[in-house]
A and B are shown apart, each in its own frame.
Chain A
Amino acid sequence: GNSVTQMEGPVTLSEEAFLTINCTYTATGYPSLFWYVQYPGEGLQLLLKATKADDKGSNKGFEATYRKETTSFHLEKGSVQVSDSAVYFCALVEEHGSSNTGKLIFGQGTTLQVKP
């Protein structure tokens, strides 16, 4: 079945450090890939997405590239801030042509802590 695997956390970084959170997936079709972020006390928010191989999603300084050959969608940011402290979820939606349920399959989440 379809699945998403993320690197274990917590990830603790100093402000302005480089961030990578690894994500790999297993899917039988042609998934779209997403990163969602959950700030303390808030709901999940879409951070970025990519819909086909070699697409790069980007938002708020975060980037992730859809790598079909390695089935990966690693999240990166060049310089993290304290305000980036949150839980990050990688997710996929499998799409089959014109038929899709829109159902997201999530990884287990990676907690990022950024210290000043």
Chain B
Amino acid sequence: DTGVSQDPRHKITKRGQNVTFRCDPISEHNRLYWYRQTLGQGPEFLTYFQNEAQLEKSRLLSDRFSAERPKGSFSTLEIQRTEQGDSAMYLCASTRGSSGGAGSGANVLTFGAGSRLTVL
């Protein structure tokens, strides 16, 4: 178990450029989540996948943001036409999701170290 890997760890880009982040979850985890964290705030939910299906998207996820998980393994988060307000830490997390009842271990998310985006 190598944990959740995110790449790159830090990306500096100019406003208007496109950026893509990659997340490799723990191999047996079928649920994958993306969060955004700005300085001094807690992580905010963006979207999640169960296998390859994207099941929920936050209103925070504007149409410049797109996420994919094509084979139910790794995931990418792309931001098009970046804006300075997109500067944040983008966190990925995974879990072994199930329809288990309250308190099941399925809800313990394992987080990656994050990808920090700086838009100049």
B109 touches A102 (CB 8 A): yes
**Which chain A residues border B67 with CB–CB below 8 Å?**
none
Q: With A89-B42, A108-B41, A109-B41 as given contacts, are A46 and B101 in contact (CB-CB < 8 Å)? A: no
B43 touches A102 (CB 8 A): no
Size band of the A side of the interface? 20 to 34
The total of chain B residues at the interface (CB under 8 A) is 30
* B76 at the binding interface (Cβ < 8 Å): no
**Which chain A residues border B44 with CB–CB below 8 Å?**
106
B113 touches A42 (CB 8 A): yes
A7 to B111, CA, bound (A): 23
Q: With A43-B112, A43-B114 as given contacts, are A102 and B45 in contact (CB-CB < 8 Å)? A: no
A110 to B112, CA, bound (A): 20
A101 to B55, CA, bound (A): 9
B33 touches A103 (CB 8 A): yes
Residue of B nearest to A31 (CB): B102
Within 75-114 of B, Cβ neighbours of A (below 8 Å) are at 91, 93, 95, 97, 99-103, 106-114
19 more contacts with CB within 8 A, not counting A32-B102, A44-B43, are A32-B103, A41-B113, A42-B113, A43-B4, A43-B111, A44-B111, A45-B111, A46-B110, A52-B103, A95-B107, A99-B99, A100-B99, A101-B55, A102-B31, A102-B106, A103-B45, A104-B33, A106-B42, A109-B42
Residue ranges of A at the interface with B (Cβ–Cβ < 8 Å): 4, 30, 32, 34, 36, 41-46, 49, 51-52, 89, 91, 93, 95, 97-109
